[in-house]
Chain A
């Protein structure tokens, strides 16, 4: 009897509350998907602050690692289940595909409102990676489609203590390629490792090679190559390939760099087992976590030519996009405006050691991070070039550089192979 009454009571409770109208809340909840494990605690903190200020709840949902996140975003895009705000990992053509599929809101009107008040707070190069210029090759309406939340540059870092041990000035890292190559014998004599980087994950090879391509032949010729007007067998490109051979032969590359994953490279540099590293500005946070006492500085890759300035890849580190189909898009934009304002950017920079995208938040950053920031003048990125290389060509290029480093192929052979693939892809494009 007692049991029956209990069941009846539970049934009535469920019926009453289950059928009652859902409590309506005029304030929406903004959902954000991201992959940035290191920044998640800071995001959660900012979300709480925003809710206190505005009453709008913000749900940051972390999906890591980045590969899994990337797949999730694509799948959600297919199902039109994307959150209010999300980031895109990948190349500019992926970004363009998302826009073409109607997933991303054009932020230009918001950026340009009140005399460009939102647009003007950002580093122009940080905005550029989210921007599609008029008559871009992707066929996207010109505009700004994302808000950068931080910026990055990828360059070289050097260990000051190890440079001193080699008899070099710790405050004057090598400026030219020759100076850098001359360190090789000293490194070998001291039993030290030279340059470490995640070259097993190939894209960083592409990055350094492009830096040297800009330095040796200038931006116009690099872009002309991508357009198919200059062959990869051009002497300037062979010189770019040959730099990796010279580095290998001079002994400035660490053993096994060609199969190194970036996490290992970061550990080696942080543990003072390698004198140089090629890494992005995110490394400042990584090294701080691994070895807070590490004495190091950031430098541009040593230049191989005086003809053109050395370039480094840089621009928006991470950006957020607003879902064009979201019913909360206006609130989402308001949140992004708040997130990218000076105080929030300064908080993010201080708590995550990433470079802020907001120009006015740069004042209180550590010196080594400021060194990375100063290189923004030299920054470029494939996403702002307006043309993109065939992925098969990039693959052949990166594999080729790996082959040069392990002594399997000559720079000329690699140039030939890359050019053949380029011609095949160009022919395929023409046939379409």
Chain B
């Protein structure tokens, strides 16, 4: 009797398990087809020397990875450049996005209008943004509003060709990238700010807290999870920037604006080294995963 009961129970459990597996099967299948299999395939291709056209590939083991880590100075220079743009995005872009979101979260006139305006740059094509900024910055094919502005303010000594100067090209690209990207952060920060219960602010005001104290002791702590999310998204988005660079300076500009994706493209198209490009892609992906993981761990530790 007891055995029968047990058998029936385990039968029900198996049936339930099968049902559960059937429910998740479509999602697992899609995830496998579009994420896991390509990742494994790209890793596998990274172990070959292959031109992307021939049917034959030459197995080289980890040679491609060895070359990336120990010989390819251009690759690490590109990583450094992407890191620099990311650092500017993490600070300038996100601080700007947070401040604007904070302002729009308060009772100000035309706040819905501002929300729309701030979200226009992210939805524009990167090519369009690049062309528009070329027009704003450039001396001969553009209006060069920046230089004209500097001259009119008596700061003519700072006016120069921002994109063709190796000292300013990357920073200019980073600033344009921030302009284009701050709208995403703005939206996420605004959504985060709106989830903070108003009662907390009211209670703080009743207790005599100043605006700064409310901001420091209520807004900031409650916004930390959102900040971590925005920081992770900023790192992932910015490290992969390249279309904007192509439309602003045409490419790597003597290495001054080279970034990992441009290096991967150069390996794939310029050198027809698909295997090496795949190895670069895997390395780049791992770097991004590690950075995101570190950010997440810091956040957890902070909590």
Contact = CB atoms under 8 A, between A and B. Distances in A.
B229 interface: no
Given A78-B52, A94-B272, A97-B52, 8 more contacts: A193-B140, A200-B251, A255-B164, A256-B139, A259-B164, A261-B250, A391-B271, A403-B254
Interface residues of A, number: 43
Given A256-B164, A399-B255, A273 B249 contact: no
Nearest to B134: A264
A200 B53 contact: no
Contacts of A392: 271
B76 interface: no
Nearest to A254: B140
B223 to A, nearest CB: 39
Interface in B137-164: 138-141, 161, 163-164
B270 A395 contact: yes
Nearest to B162: A256
Interface of A is mostly: helix
B55 interface: yes
Interface string A192-228: 0100001111100000000000000000000000000
Interface in B35-93: 51-55
B119 interface: no
Interface string A246-259: 00000000111111
Nearest to A201: B250
Interface in A229-254: 254
Contacts of B288: none
Given A198-B250, A259-B250, A264-B134, A273 B140 contact: yes
A97 to B, nearest CB: 4
Interface string A64-77: 00010010001001
The size bracket of the interface on B is: 20 to 34
Contacts of B270: 391, 394-395
Nearest to B252: A399
Nearest to A255: B139
Contacts of A273: 140-141
Contacts of B136: none
A267 interface: yes
The 6 closest A-B pairs by CB, nearest first: A200-B250, A97-B53, A402-B254, A391-B271, A259-B249, A256-B164
A38 interface: no
A273 B175 CA distance: 28
Contacts of B140: 193, 254-256, 268, 273-274
